[in-house]
Amino acid sequence: MNKFGLLDDETSPPLLTSSLTEKIAMFAPVKPRQQVDIAAADAAAAQHGFVSREISEAADTKLLGRRRRTVPSEPTRHLAIRLSSSAYDRFVAYADRQKLTYHDALARLLDTVGG
Amino acid sequence: MPVIAVSNPKGGAGKSTTTLLLATYLAQQGASVSVLDADPNQPIMDWKKNGLSKTTLQVIGGVREANLMETLEEQPHQFVFIDLEGTASLLVSRSIAMADFVIVPVQASAVDVRQAGKAIRAVRDEEKVAQRSNPSRRIPFRVLMTRTPAPGAPVSSVQRQLEAEIEAAGIPRFKTSLAERMAFKAVFVERLTLAEMRDLKVGNLDAAYENVHQLAEELIGLLQDIEKESAA
């Protein structure tokens, strides 16, 4: 007798329960990842003390030998920029890998993107 | 493919233990699972490489700031765990930024919880940053109490106070906690999964197994809710 209405009615459908294995099977293996703005993510994390703990490739510049300096064929102007530590490391590492001076590396990157 | 980052800038909070127990358990249940070992000490890589476990779990070592995104994109698995180092590094914060869910394991100690606060603030800030380009982006997280007394054993007043403070602060936490158990330590010593240690005397294996089962059930339930929410 269902005196207090707490017992399931015999005619009510059974509860849908699934085992952990069945639940797991519902997760697709491949899903496109959302793009993350690394520079913005790093800047937000830096406020809480999250900094790079890796030895940057830029730190190994001494091992890479002397860079060949090209003489510019036009007048030069000075550009001083402040950039995030990670962007700095990437840029310096790129210049080192390519054995380019910074101004040549910047010109190469601009050439690459058609800028 | 949920990416689950396991993070607390404090070392010894139970990150690797939590990662390994959950990942091997899900693999045993038939899931395809990988762990990116982003801890410089490579504890899970060591477990896999130097052990005899027959688990289907894939472990990828040598994860660095520069290759994290590429490594994540290469994963063809249903679940990807990132076991993070116990420091506040860019590798940690970037992993959080790319995660679908963050587990923040904490022991019942003031130092652990204060350091966990750092991870929680980072999660919230990374979420805000991600929402600039995608307003629906969420990085849900849960605090997981680790090395708690086994059910029935007395709970310390420190743990009770911490639990009360976590609740008062509105910080979401797992209902399940990971108890202090011999079997969990033995997983790293024997380099086997819990299920593979059946023939070894490593404490109350059934209780340990049940503990991980409950935690995995809760995790899968949370991930299902997140998937539903993001699909809506």
Cβ distance B71 to B65 under 8 Å?
no
CA B33, CA B77: separation in Å to the nearest integer? 5
Name the minimum distance, in Å, from the CA of A89 to any CA of chain B. 11
Specify the pTM: 0.77
Most confident by average pLDDT, A28-37, A49-58, B14-23 = B14-23
pLDDT value at residue A12: 44
* pLDDT value of position A14: 42
Q: Which of B3, B39, B93 to mutate to test the interface with A (most CBs of A within 10 A)?
A: B93
Assign residue B14 a region: left if phi > 0, alpha if psi is -120 to 50, beta otherwise? left
Residues of A in contact with B125 (CB under 8 A): 44-45, 47-48
Supply the DSSP symbol for A61. G
Q: Which residues contact A67 (CB under 8 A, 6 or more apart)?
A: A95, A99, A100, A101
Residues linked to residue B103 through DSSP beta bridges, in sequence order: B6, B142
Q: What span, in angstroms and rounded, lies between the C-alpha atoms of B111 and B120? A: 14
In a mutational test of the A interface, the residue from B78, B96, B210, B227 whose CB has the highest number of chain A CBs within 10 Å is: B78
- Neighbouring CB atoms inside 10 A of B201's CB total 8
B232 contacts: CB under 8 Å, gap ≥ 6: none
Copy the structure tokens of residue B162: 């911490």
pLDDT at B27: 96
Residue B82 has what pLDDT?
96
Q: CB-based contacts of B149: which residues, under 8 Å, 6+ apart?
A: B155, B156, B159, B179, B180
Please write the tens of the pLDDT for every residue from B28-60.
999 999 999 999 889 999 999 999 999 999 999
Range with lowest mean pLDDT among A29-33, B105-109, B169-173 = A29-33
Tens of pLDDT along A84-106?
888 888 888 888 888 888 888 88
Binding-face residues of B in 15-44 toward A, CB within 8 A: 26, 29-32
B171 touches chain A (CB under 8 A): no
Strand order in the sheet with B33-38: B58-60, B33-38, B79-84, B3-6, B101-107, B141-148, B178-179
Closest partner residue to A51 (CB to CB) among B89, B128, B134 is B89
CA count, 13 A, side-chain hemisphere, B181: 25
A16 and chain B in contact, CB less than 8 A: no
- Chain A residues touching residue B82 (CB < 8 angstroms): none
Nearest to A96 by CA among A52, A70, A65: A65
Residues of A in contact with B224 (CB under 8 A): 23, 26
Tokens of residue B214, six digits: 């409950």
The single residue listed with the structure tokens 């840029």 is A91
B26 vs B169, more confident: B26
**Pick among B34, B69, B126 to test the A interface (most A CBs inside 10 A):** B126
Q: Do B130 and A26 touch (CB under 8 A)?
A: no
Q: How confident is the model at residue A59 (pLDDT cuts 50, 70, 90)?
A: low
Q: For position B121, what pLDDT does the model report?
A: 87
- What is the model's pLDDT at position A6? 57
B209, amino acid identity: Y
Rounded distance, CA B3 to CA B76, Å? Answer: 12
Bridge partners (DSSP) listed for residue B102 = B5, B141
Over the stretch B78-101, which tens digit does the pLDDT of each residue have? Answer: 999 999 988 888 899 899 999 999
Residue A68 has pLDDT above 70, yes or no: no
Q: Average pLDDT over chain B, rounded to whole?
A: 90
Identify which of A25, A29, A45 has the shortest CB distance to residue B93.
A45
Q: Chain A within 8 Å of B137 (Cβ-Cβ)?
A: yes
Query: How does residue A15 score in pLDDT terms, banded at 50, 70 and 90?
Result: very low
Residue A7 is given by DSSP the state S
Interacting residues of A77 by C-beta distance below 8 A, sequence separation 6+: none
Q: HSE-up of B49 (CA within 13 Å, CB side)?
A: 10
pLDDT value, residue B100: 92
B220 at A interface, C-beta within 8 A: yes
Query: From the CA of B204, how many Å to the nearest CA of chain A?
Result: 23
Residue B8's closest chain A neighbor by CA? A50
- Rounded CA-CA distance B75/A28 in Å is 12
